[in-house]
Amino acid sequence: MCQKAAGNYFLPLGSFARADFTMTRGMPKWFASSDLVRRGFCEVCGTPLFYDIPETDFITVALGSLDDSDAVRPAMQSNTGRKMSWFHALDTLPLEPVAQTSRREDAIAASNHQHPDHDTAVWPPNAGRER
Ligand SMILES: [Zn+2]
């Protein structure tokens, strides 16, 4: 289910005490992915934000959505039953030369419409404008 929710091969998650968690701006949009679980995401950009079982005293956050996701190191793997059989070999694959991608990646970064990795005074900057 996390693969579908993230549209990816896995979804790094971290759980926090619900009492210690505060949304600093806005509210997520929720999708009931099962009878027990709801998935929270940003309705503006679609970023997956939460895996939540409302009756529990914890909330689970999509770690890739954090401003500094590199600061949170994985501590364990779970639900590995559907882990891709080739996943362990990713670090052995050849690397795409940087020179072939940097110009395009720079253009994408320069025109990025996703929320930046820091808080902003206003978000979204062009509310109501969709492409
Ligand atoms: Zn967003």
Q: What is the pLDDT of residues 48-80, one digit of tens each?
A: 999 999 999 999 999 999 889 899 988 999 888
Please tell me the distance between residue 84's alpha carbon and the centre of ligand 1 in angstroms: 28
Q: Residue 126 has what pLDDT? A: 67
CA of 129 to the centre of ligand 1 (A): 14
Report the separation in Å between the CA atom of 90 and the middle of ligand 1, taken as the mean of its atom positions.
29
- Report the pLDDT value the prediction gives residue 109, as an integer from 0 to 100: 81
Q: What pLDDT, on a 0 to 100 scale, did the predictor assign at position 32?
A: 95
* Number of neighbours of residue 47 by Cβ within 10 angstroms: 15
Ligand 1 being an ion, which residues bring their Cβ within 5 A of it?
A: 42, 44-45, 47, 115
Structure tokens at 18: 């619900």
Nearest to 14 by CA among 56, 66, 81, 82: 66
Whether the per-residue pLDDT at 128 is higher than 70: the answer is no
The 10s digit of each residue's pLDDT in 74-119 is 899 988 888 999 999 999 999 877 766 678 888 888 888 877 778 8
Distance 115 CA to ligand 1 centre (A): 5
Q: Taking all residues of the chain, what is their mean pLDDT, rounded to a whole number?
A: 86
89 CA distance to ligand 1 middle (Å): 32
What tokens appear for 75 in the block? 């501590």
Q: What is the pLDDT of residues 1-44, one digit of tens each?
A: 677 777 888 889 999 999 999 988 889 999 999 999 999 999 88
Taking 70 as the threshold, does the pLDDT of residue 127 lie above it? no
Rounded Cα–Cα distance for residues 117 and 67 (Å) = 4
Rounded to the nearest whole angstrom, what is the distance from the C-alpha of residue 92 to the centroid of ligand 1?
33
Cα gap 23→69, rounded to integer Å: 17
pTM of the complete model: 0.78
